[in-house]
């Protein structure tokens, strides 16, 4: 198989990854000056911040995804999309090697994001669920609904505990948002729809290794989040490490055992990128070390942006946080600099403009650390709604999501709790 990209006189920019970084780079590049080739293993862009709402049945998967081919075809003629997985790059030969063939480039931008980090714990990797993609969120949705249905049909108290204990590991934004949404589902929906199930048996645990939730945010945001979640009924355990999970129970501390079939791992992410990058250029967290132009050492035409990039400086000894804004701003910088390279103008250096960090816990409950002000509660929730709608790709998606939120808000319900694609896991003996 071949990628069949037509030869061109123009410089060819190959972009691996149609996430926040990849799409914003395309937006910025001067389309007439370059041939642009976008490669992604999926034919759609995923708006990851709303994955948890798909998992909790609040949104349809289609409303947080956008077809990459549609995006590319709306931007110009000398632009191509190829659905394939990049396995390796060869900076020396200026080649990208995919599972469908090879392609040479003049400029290569790696925007491949991140993957779940299990810190080498195989049992957790094998038996837990993660939340990094739309298929993951559908798995989680199905598992949740299947296990509630199963719990109705067993008289075995121990088994019911395994089915109805939901344990989220990792008190970062994803863990907190999932825990909040699950608590609200239990409170507003499950109590009504599963009237013949004792809802006091359904427990939502949130386990965090550090001494506070949302460690990347202000103390105030952490405290508020804790109290919101506690009021919603979440069982929060701080300074609690999970070191093993056999798919049936977890042991925490000296004497606490939580029987559970449902462990959702949101405790870490690490950079993800194809092979071929020199080991010396890979930093902690499996991210590629880049300079202030997002270039990889010794390769002026090789750039890494977004979650996969570690731009280490005195100000940011661990690199920038893995946030959409970092990917967007890096993409804009690389796009602007590539445009300048054609015009022989000097390049700009990356300077991250912090636009704030947000997390939502539930209805009218969010925390927002903005550069000028830190707010919590209803106002923060409105900010959260507005920002997420703004950055969602596609007008139709914005409308659908807005409608779903509105209906869900006034009716305390959503109609999306369907087991379309049943989830089967390794140790499922049903
Ligand atoms: C559940 C969740 C919630 C989040 N919430 C927030 C939030 O509220 N606010 C915030 O700022 N950030 C949030 N983030 C982080 C944010 O989504 C990322 O920082 C951002 O997506 C990074 O953009 P990126 O372009 O680097 O990578 P991504 O957006 O992850 O895109 C990477 C793309 O590369 C493709 N790809 C990867 N490897 C290959 C390969 N080898 N070959 C071909 N294609 C490949 C993938 O299919 C994907 O399309 C969240 C992340 C998750 C998982």
Domain co-membership, 258 together with 168: yes
Number of domains in the chain: 2
Are 217 and 186 members of one domain?
yes
Is residue 6 one of the residues assigned to a domain?
no
Shared-domain flag, residues 258 and 284: no
Cβ–ligand 1 contact at 172 (below 6 Å) = no
Q: Is the same domain home to 97 and 169? A: no
- For residue 273, being part of any structural domain is answered with yes
Last residue of a domain, one of 267, 295, 316: 267
Asked, for residue 359, whether it belongs to a domain, the answer is no
**End residue of a domain, out of 342, 363, 379:** 342
* Among protein residues, the one whose CA lies closest to atom 27 of ligand 1: 113
Of 342, 367, 395, the last residue of a domain is 342
Find the 45 Cα to ligand 1 centroid distance in Å: 9
Indicate whether 62 belongs to any domain: no
pLDDT at 260: 98
The residue-averaged pLDDT of 16-43 equals 97
Please state the rounded mean pLDDT for residues 132-138.
97
Q: Is 303 a member of any domain? A: yes
Q: Which residue has the higher pLDDT, 430 or 249?
A: 249
Report the pLDDT value the prediction gives residue 426, as an integer from 0 to 100: 58
Contact 16 CB / ligand 1 (< 6 Å)? yes
Cβ–ligand 1 contact at 117 (below 6 Å): no
Task: List pLDDT tens digits, range 222-242.
Answer: 999 999 999 999 999 999 999
Does 226 map to a domain? Answer: yes
In terms of domains, do 110 and 161 share one?
no
pLDDT value, residue 238? 97
Confidence label for 357 from pLDDT (cuts 50, 70 and 90): very high
**What's residue 255's pLDDT?**
83
Half-sphere exposure in the Cβ direction for 153 (13 Å, CA)? 6
> What integer is the mean pLDDT of 253-272?
94
Q: Whose CA is nearest to atom 44 of ligand 1?
A: 40
Closest residue to atom 38 of ligand 1, CA basis: 112
User: What average pLDDT does the chain have?
Assistant: 95
Residue 417 is predicted with a pLDDT of 87
Is the CB of 350 inside a 6 Å radius of any atom of ligand 1? no
The answer to whether residue 293 is domain-embedded is: yes
| 361, pLDDT greater than 80 | yes
228, 210: one domain: yes
Q: Residue 430: pLDDT band by 50, 70, 90 thresholds?
A: very low
Residue nearest to atom 52 of ligand 1 (CA): 48
Residue 130, CA distances (Å) to 100, 104, 327, 337 in order = 28, 34, 22, 36
State which of 68, 288, 304, 324 you would mutate to test the pocket of ligand 1, scoring each by most atoms of that ligand within 8 A of its C-beta.
324
pLDDT at 428: 55
Question: Rounded mean pLDDT of 261-282?
Answer: 97
- On whether both 95 and 190 belong to a single domain, the answer is no
| Domain CATH for 155 | 3.50.50.100
Q: Which residue has the tokens 């089967």?
A: 424
219 and 305 part of one domain: no
Q: Is the CB of 48 under 6 A from ligand 1?
A: yes
Q: How far is the CA of 48 from the centre of ligand 1 (A)?
A: 6
**Residue 279 C-alpha to ligand 1 middle, in angstroms?**
23
Tell me the per-residue pLDDT of 389-409, one tens digit each, with 9 for 90 and over.
Answer: 999 999 999 999 999 999 888
User: Of the candidates 427, 430, 428, 419, which has an alpha carbon nearest to the alpha carbon of residue 141?
Assistant: 419
- Both 31 and 110 in a single domain? yes
Give me the mean pLDDT over the 256-263 stretch. 96
State in Å: Cα 200 to ligand 1 middle: 36
Q: Is residue 88 part of a domain?
A: yes
Statement to judge: residues 179 and 229 lie in one domain = yes
pLDDT digit string (tens) for 42-73?
999 999 999 999 999 999 999 999 999 999 99
Which residue range(s) make up the domain with 243? 122-267
Q: For residue 174, what are its two tokens?
A: 């994803």
pLDDT at 429 over 60: no
Are 233 and 329 part of one and the same domain? no
CATH number for 315: 3.50.50.60
Mean pLDDT of 162-170: 98
Q: Whose C-alpha lies nearest to ligand 1, atom 6?
A: 49
Verify that 182 and 220 share a domain, yes or no.
yes
The Å distance, Cα 19 to ligand 1 centre, comes to: 6
């Amino acid at each position: 198989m071949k990628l069949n990209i037509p030869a061109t006189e123009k410089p060819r920019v190959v972009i691996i990854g149609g996430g926040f970084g990849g799409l914003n780079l395309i937006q910025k590049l001067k389309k007439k000056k370059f041939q642009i080739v976008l490669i992604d293993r999926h034919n759609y862009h995923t708006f990851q911040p709303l994955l948890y709402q798909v998992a909790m049945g609040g949104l349809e998967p289609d409303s947080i995804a956008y077809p990459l081919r549609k995006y590319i075809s709306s931007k110009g003629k000398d632009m191509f999309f190829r659905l394939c997985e990049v396995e390796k790059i060869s900076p020396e030969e200026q080649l990208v090697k995919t599972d469908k063939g090879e392609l040479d480039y003049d400029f290569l931008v790696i925007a491949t994001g991140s993957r779940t980090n299990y810190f080498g714990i195989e049992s957790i990797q094998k038996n837990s669920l993660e939340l990094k993609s739309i298929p993951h969120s559908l798995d989680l949705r199905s598992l949740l609904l299947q296990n509630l249905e199963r719990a109705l049909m067993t008289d075995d108290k121990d088994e019911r505990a395994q089915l109805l204990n939901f344990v989220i590991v990792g008190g970062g934004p994803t863990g907190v948002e999932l825990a909040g949404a699950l608590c609200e589902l239990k409170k507003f929906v499950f109590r009504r729809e599963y009237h013949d199930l004792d809802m006091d048996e359904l427990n939502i645990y949130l386990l965090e290794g550090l001494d506070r939730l949302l460690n990347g945010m202000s103390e105030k945001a952490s405290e508020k989040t804790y109290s919101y979640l506690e009021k919603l009924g979440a069982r929060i355990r701080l300074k609690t490490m999970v070191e093993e999970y056999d798919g049936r129970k977890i042991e925490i501390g000296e004497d606490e055992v939580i029987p559970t079939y449902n462990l959702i791992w949101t405790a870490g992410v690490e950079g993800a990128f194809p092979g071929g990058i020199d080991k010396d250029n890979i930093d902690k967290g499996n991210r590629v070390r880049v300079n202030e132009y997002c270039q990889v050492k010794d390769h002026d035409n090789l750039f890494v942006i977004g979650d996969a990039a570690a731009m280490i400086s005195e100000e940011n000894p661990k690199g920038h946080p893995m946030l959409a804004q970092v990917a967007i701003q890096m993409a804009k910088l690389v796009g602007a600099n590539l445009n300048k390279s054609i015009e022989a103008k000097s390049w700009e250096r990356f300077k991250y403009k912090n636009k704030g960090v947000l997390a939502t816990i539930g209805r009218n409950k969010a925390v927002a650390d903005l550069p000028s002000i830190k707010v919590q509660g209803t106002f923060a929730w409105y900010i959260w709604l507005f920002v997420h709608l703004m950055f969602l790709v596609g007008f139709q998606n914005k409308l659908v999501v807005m409608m779903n939120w509105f209906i869900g808000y006034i009716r305390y319900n959503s109609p999306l709790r369907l087991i379309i694609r049943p989830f089967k896991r390794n140790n499922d003996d049903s």
